[in-house]
Structure 1
Amino acid sequence: MTVGAGETLSTSGRLSHDSAGTFIGTGDFEPQMSTNLGNLDRVLEHFGARRDQIVGTTVLARGLRDHFDTVTPLHAAYCGDHRPTGTVTGVSDPALPDRLVEMGAVVRLDAGH
């Protein structure tokens, strides 16, 4: 879900589904994380926003200790030289059992280069 309030977008529940709604990456953290980031790009595009306008991200990961070394480089590569705030939290029981990672972001449409 994405909600806009003035120049701020808040998006949550970014999951690893393709554009047809098919779940990607059952049991495999890296494709789920990569698909989530791609889905965030589609949200940004829809609202005419860019990655450098992301001011904060939240990553909820099942088995975080096992997947932290995957989250960090993928997130860093996605953001490039831009560094939004970020929270990575481990969860034990996500709402949907096959999901290993869920993301959210706050975007300021009036920010960036």
Structure 2
Amino acid sequence: MAKKQRHAYTEEFCREAVRRPDQPGNTAASVAKELGLHPGQIYNWRRQFSRLSEKQFNSLSGVDYSQQESEEERRLKRELHAARKENEFLKKAAAYFAKLQE
């Protein structure tokens, strides 16, 4: 069985493919057929563009910036979680030592 070849479409191509079904007389299926795509691909791109910001969808020299940003976001969330736990502990310790001094 032959493997399907993956295509790397430009952002401009994707945006045009998403924009064209919104024009009168066009459907996602007709545009997909015309462009040689599966109709689901147009819906996927539409969802990506609506969910992600301009910068997140861009890739430059094969580097996906959305992945880099999400890694940074996960790191910051871990740091925030650790800081909150430490803060909770310090509040309890302060309350404990305050009781001892009374």
TM-score range, shorter chain: under 0.3
Structure number with greater Rg is: 2
Richer in helix (by share) = 2
Report which structure shows greater RCO (CA 8 Å, sep ≥6). 1
Richer in strand (by share) = 1
